Structures are given as structure tokens and as C-alpha cells.
Amino acid sequence: MSAAYFFRLRGDLVGRWSALAAPPHPGHSGRVEESRAIPVSVEDDCIEEWGIEEEMLPTAQDPVEDAFGVRRYRITLRAPDARQWSGEATDIFECLIELRKQIEPLGLRTCCNGARLDAWASGMQRDMGGGAFVYLLDGVPPKQAPPQVNTLDPAPLDTIASVADQRAWHDEWRRHRRR
């Protein structure tokens, strides 16, 4: 590959990234948002549909440089009665953990893949994908890739665990895998 071709290709890729990362117009905040419904277990394991929003928070850095720096995300859970809770972190999975720490003492549980007992986001999923996907680790034979699912997609209530139980399960799974 010639140097001229490489730099033209690199410039094209950086230009595409800039177009994706830059705000669509000068007055835009720079946030990338997605809103959706998420099942939440309330008292007596009754499931209700609540709103959840994902945001990629703007930074003062140039969008191209930001691709190699630290990003911040926020997810906000909105109850039908207008109560809301937010978790902010460097990836969606960690945002969900922070959010769950706030709602678990209230008897609320998000019924999504990221709250499953056997779910965990790897370092690469967090760094490269912003924690938008998690692995489902239970029952996966050694040296086989576990299935990936969207962190905030719905999951059955009987697969959901507390943050503490999920961390303990993951720690034990890691110890077992190293043997």
C-alpha cells in the first residue's frame, strides 16, 4: 500500500468518524440519545413498562480525539409517576449497575439482560462498544465464545439478580474459568 493511499484512506475514515460524532447542527448539544421501554419488577414481582433513556454525554474534546479518550454515558429510568433515577459512568453496563444500586433498596429491579445473574460486559465490550452488549456466561464451555446480547433488552424476571449477587457470580465464574 502506498503512503499516499494510506493517508487518503485514513483521512476518509477520520472524516467519516467526524461526521458521525459531530453534532448535526451548531445549536445541538452533541448528545446521542435513545429512548425505549424497559420492564421493571415492582412489588410482588409485578412487571410494569417504564421508560429508559441512554445518553452519550458531550465533552469539550474534539470528536476525533474523543474517539480515543474517555467517554461518559448516562442512563435514566423514568417511572410512570414521574420519579426518575440516573446512573452515569464510562459505559452503559456500568451506568446500569449504578442505576440498579439506587433502585434495588426500593424493591425495584430492571428486567434487562445487563441485570441477569450470568451477564457481564468484558473490557473490550466496554471500551469498544460502550458497554451496549454483555456476554451471557452460564453454561458456556471453556474456549467457546459466549453469546452476546444487548445490555438493555428485556430479560425474564427469573434470570435477574441484585448487583451484589451478579458480581459474586461473576467473580466465582472467573475463578472457575482460570482452573
pTM over 0.75: yes
Give pLDDT, residue 14. 36
* Residue 44 near residue 38, CB atoms below 8 Å: no
Let me know if residue 2 belongs to a domain. no
* Gap between the Cα atoms of 38 and 140, Å rounded: 27
Let me know if residue 5 belongs to a domain. no
Give pLDDT, residue 31. 54
- Give the three-state DSSP class for 119: strand
DSSP structure class, residue 155? -
Residues 6+ apart with CB under 8 A from 10: none
pLDDT in tens, 118-138: 999 999 999 889 999 999 999
Q: 170: domain range? A: 30-178
Cell of 168: 459474586
Which span out of 6-10, 31-35, 165-169, 174-178 was modeled with the highest average pLDDT?
165-169
pLDDT in tens, 134-178: 999 999 887 889 999 999 999 999 999 999 999 999 999 988 876
Give pLDDT, residue 33. 73
Let me know if residue 42 belongs to a domain. yes
Let me know if residue 52 belongs to a domain. yes
As beta bridge partners, residue 49 has 39
* Higher-scoring residue by pLDDT: 69, 107: 107
pLDDT in tens, 45-75: 899 999 999 998 876 654 433 555 678 899 9
Q: Is the pLDDT of residue 95 over 50?
A: yes
Average pLDDT over residues 2-21: 36
Let me know if residue 8 belongs to a domain. no
Give pLDDT, residue 141. 86
Give pLDDT, residue 108. 96
The structural domain count of the chain equals: 1
Let me know if residue 151 belongs to a domain. yes
Let me know if residue 74 belongs to a domain. yes
DSSP structure class, residue 84? E
Q: Which of 164, 166, 158, 80 is nearest to 121 (CA)?
A: 166
Let me know if residue 157 belongs to a domain. yes
